[in-house]
Structure formats: C-alpha cells, structure tokens
C-alpha cells in the first residue's frame, strides 16, 4: 500500500474531522472509495469513536434512479431519512464527506428532477444544514479519486494512469509526501491562513471592488461586524476541525442587498449534472438580474431561482492566483479543489460570519444582511489580472489584490 494513503486517512480523522472519544462519526462516501473509508473507520475506532455510521452512495444507481424512478419520488424525502441526519446533528455527531464525483455522471439526466430533489432534501434536512453551516458540529469534506473522475481530469491517460495522477495531485494539495508529517504541515498552513484572515478582519472594509479584463466590475458591500474565516474552525463543543480539505481560502459574507455590477466566471461550474462555462452574473442591489452563458444559461438561471435566497450572494472568498493548487494548473472539475485555486463567490446561503450571528435566528441574520437559502453554490472569479480594492468606512482605498494575488 502507498504509505501516503494511511497518512491521508489519519490526517482526515485526527485533524480534519478531529473525531473525539465517545463521539459518533457519520461518513458519507461513494462505494468507489470503500477501501479508504475502511481505513478512516478503523482509525476512528482507534481514537475511541463511539460508532462509525456509513451512508454509502453509488453514482450508477443515483443516475438510474433519476432516469427511471417514478416522477413523484423527487418531490419528497422520507421523514426517517431526514430525521436521521437532523437527529445525529442534534446529538453532536461529526460529519465526514468523502467525495469521488464523476463530473459527467449525471449528464443527460432531467435537470428538473435533480433540482426538485435537491430542494426537497435541503428543506427536509434544514436543521442539520443549519448546525453544519454555523459550525455547531464538526464537519469535513475531502476527496478520493474515482477512475471516471480521474479520466475526466486527465483525458489522455488510461484508467490506471489517470487515477494515479489524480491521487498524486490530491496528495500534493493535502501536503502529504511519503516522508513528511502532514499533521505538522497542516498546523503551519492553518497558522498562515489565520494570520491573514485576522489582518483582513482588522481592516473592517465597507466595500470590496473587483475588476479584471474579462469585464468583471463588481462592488460588494460587507455587513457591519463581519469577520473573515479560514483555516480551522471550532465547534460548539470547542473542538477544532477543518471543514474543507484542502483549504486555501479566506472568506466572509457579503451584505445581502449590497452587491452591484457584473462578474465573469473564470472556471467551469457543474450545475444539475451539466458543466456551464464562461458565464456571467449581473447584480442590482444584491439580486442576480441577468445570467449569461454561451450554453446552458437557462439551467444556471433556474438554479439561482431555486428559492428567494439563491439569487443573492452568500460568500466572498479570497484565494491567491498563485496558490499551490492553482499553480498545479489542473482543472479538477470539482468545487473543493477549483475553489481553492481561485477567488470565488457563492450564491445562496451565508455562513454566519458576523459577530454574534451564529446564535441568532434566521430572521435576525437576514436583518444583518446575511443570506438564507437551501442553495450554496461556489463559482470561480479569480484571474491573473484580478484587482480587488478594499474601501474602509472612512473612504480610504486599500489594495487587497493586485494582479490576482494578495497585496499584503
């Protein structure tokens, strides 16, 4: 066995999800990643985990269901299915997702069925989602290659070669080598992110102004009392964890009605099983009023209308153009990697990154300008010539990004 594989499992369990003695761990994973999931479960029990509950999925079967199941299946979630996730979150379980998604797996599937099911599921597990998004529970998302995904990323290579290349790429993004101690690497990595996010929080910008040669010309207002997040998080029980692995981003929430202008995407986005490229959004008072794309603009637009909040932004994230993942020059067709290689925004729900907001109701958060939606879709806007200027409450303009990278 590749020595990096065991290190990866240990890293996810000990640092990423940081499962505690006596705690329940839920792992969502594809059957393609079963050997890796077994390593993760074994490591968790070694740490005194109470129980590891696995929720398997299989893209072949998911696709078959979307193609052939009765139509009404996609409008409702069985109460016990939703109750399982909501109850486990209430009980303080930790949630690890291991993603192996093939970007083309749902090609040709009825996008309306997917959207309807996502809406029904999102509404049914709203309690779980709320606990996860406000970091009340530990959660972590990481990836393991499937052959189909690897062959999409490395189209010229055979199945084994492609999978090997994708594994190498993932180990590199995870700072894992055959020789090093990745736990120590991650401590250093998170410290650097935390130092920068504290700097940004201290500036207390009122606006961020984005510009590049693609035509992006966007002003984002930030809510009063906002802070920047990134690196590691802390759960309600005081346990540190890392929600996304890898992670390079520093993020906060935009003010719901304070976004104006145009932004152009710089990487493809997978929506309802379709890849959408070269799209742009136009905003007026926070709302997306125009969606443009050479192809599939209608699918993207429908996604921004899944509910009221989906047509407003919920996240603004900064990632340098020369971040290690970006420098690899690989298009992963997977948000977890692509978002950590590029400045991005998300339409849909906000994380409660305003002081005190984590303990507020949704209505109170809305008043602060924090968005609520069952959607949260990241899209990439970073480019080599992106400039971002921060404007303070006193009107002072401070460069945040120059030519795609941090100015400080």
Residues that bind Zn ion (CB under 5 A): 249, 251, 315, 317, 339, 346, 378
293 φ, ψ (degrees, to nearest 5): -165, 145
Instruction: Please state the closest distance from residue 396 (CB atom) to Zn ion, in A.
Output: 27
Instruction: Please state the closest distance from residue 346 (CB atom) to Zn ion, in A.
Output: 4
Residue placing its CB nearer to Zn ion in the complex, 222 or 346: 346
- Give the distance from CA 221 to its chain's centroid: 22
Instruction: Please state the closest distance from residue 165 (CB atom) to Zn ion, in A.
Output: 25
Instruction: Please state the closest distance from residue 272 (CB atom) to Zn ion, in A.
Output: 17
Residue placing its CB nearer to Zn ion in the complex, 299 or 319: 319
Residue placing its CB nearer to Zn ion in the complex, 20 or 132: 132
Is 46 in a helix, a strand, or coil? helix
Burial 145-155 (b: 16+ CB within 10 A, else e): bbbbbbbbbbe
Residue placing its CB nearer to Zn ion in the complex, 164 or 324: 324
Instruction: Please state the closest distance from residue 241 (CB atom) to Zn ion, in A.
Output: 16
Instruction: Please state the closest distance from residue 351 (CB atom) to Zn ion, in A.
Output: 8
8 Å CB contact between 149 and 103: yes
8 Å CB contact between 260 and 217: no
- Give the distance from CA 177 to its chain's centroid: 25
Using alpha carbons, list the distances in angstroms from residue 63 to 104, 114, 246, 272.
Answer: 11, 10, 28, 12
Q: Are strands 240-241 and 233-234 parallel, antiparallel or unpaired?
A: antiparallel
Residue placing its CB nearer to Zn ion in the complex, 52 or 276: 276
Which residues on neighbouring strands pair with residue 269, listed in sequence order? 276
Residue placing its CB nearer to Zn ion in the complex, 116 or 344: 344
Hey, what are 248's tokens?
A: 């390079």
Burial of 285 (0-12, 13-18, 19+ CB in 10 A): exposed
Instruction: Please state the closest distance from residue 17 (CB atom) to Zn ion, in A.
Output: 18
State how far the Cα of 103 lies from the Cα of 278, in Å rounded to an integer.
Answer: 17
Residue placing its CB nearer to Zn ion in the complex, 144 or 346: 346
Q: Which of these, 147, 158, 141, lies nearest to 32 by C-alpha position?
A: 147
């Amino acid at each position: 066995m590749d020595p990096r594989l065991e290190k990866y499992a240990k890293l996810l369990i000990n640092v990423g999800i940081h499962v505690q003695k006596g705690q329940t761990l839920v792992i969502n994973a594809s059957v393609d990643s079963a050997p890796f999931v077994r390593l993760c479960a074994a490591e968790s029990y070694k740490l005194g985990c109470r129980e590891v509950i696995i929720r398997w999925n299989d893209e072949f079967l998911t696709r078959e269901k979307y193609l052939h199941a009765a139509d009404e299946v996609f409008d409702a979630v069985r109460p016990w299915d939703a109750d399982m996730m909501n109850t486990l979150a209430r009980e303080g379980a930790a949630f690890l997702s291991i993603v192996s998604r093939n970007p083309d797996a749902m090609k040709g599937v009825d996008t309306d069925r997917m959207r309807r099911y996502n809406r029904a599921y999102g509404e049914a597990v709203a309690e779980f989602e709320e606990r996860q998004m406000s970091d009340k529970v530990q959660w972590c998302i990481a990836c393991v290659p499937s052959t189909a995904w690897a062959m999409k990323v490395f189209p010229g290579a055979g199945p084994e070669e492609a999978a090997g290349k994708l594994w190498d790429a993932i180990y590199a993004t995870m700072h894992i080598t055959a020789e090093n101690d990745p736990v120590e690497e991650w401590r250093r990595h998170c410290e650097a992110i935390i130092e920068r996010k504290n700097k940004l929080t201290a500036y207390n910008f009122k606006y961020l102004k984005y510009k590049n040669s693609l035509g992006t010309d966007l002003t984002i207002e930030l809510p009063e009392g906002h802070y920047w997040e990134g690196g590691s998080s802390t759960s309600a029980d005081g346990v540190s964890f890392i929600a996304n692995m890898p992670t390079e981003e520093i993020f906060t929430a935009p003010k719901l009605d304070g976004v104006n202008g145009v932004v152009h995407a710089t990487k493809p986005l997978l929506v309802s099983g379709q890849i959408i490229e070269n799209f742009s959004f136009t905003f007026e008072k926070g709302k997306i009023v125009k969606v443009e794309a050479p192809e599939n603009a209608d699918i993207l637009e429908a996604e921004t209308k899944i509910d009221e909040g989906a047509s407003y932004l919920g996240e603004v994230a900064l990632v340098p153009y020369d971040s290690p993942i970006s420098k690899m020059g690989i298009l992963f067709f997977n948000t977890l990697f692509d978002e950590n290689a590029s400045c991005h925004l998300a339409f849909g729900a906000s994380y409660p990154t305003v002081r005190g907001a984590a303990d507020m109701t949704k209505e109170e958060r809305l008043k602060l300008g924090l968005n609520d939606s069952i959607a949260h879709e990241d899209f990439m806007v970073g480019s080599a010539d992106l400039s971002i200027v921060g404007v303070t409450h006193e009107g002072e303009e401070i460069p945040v990004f120059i030519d795609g990278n941090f100015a400080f």
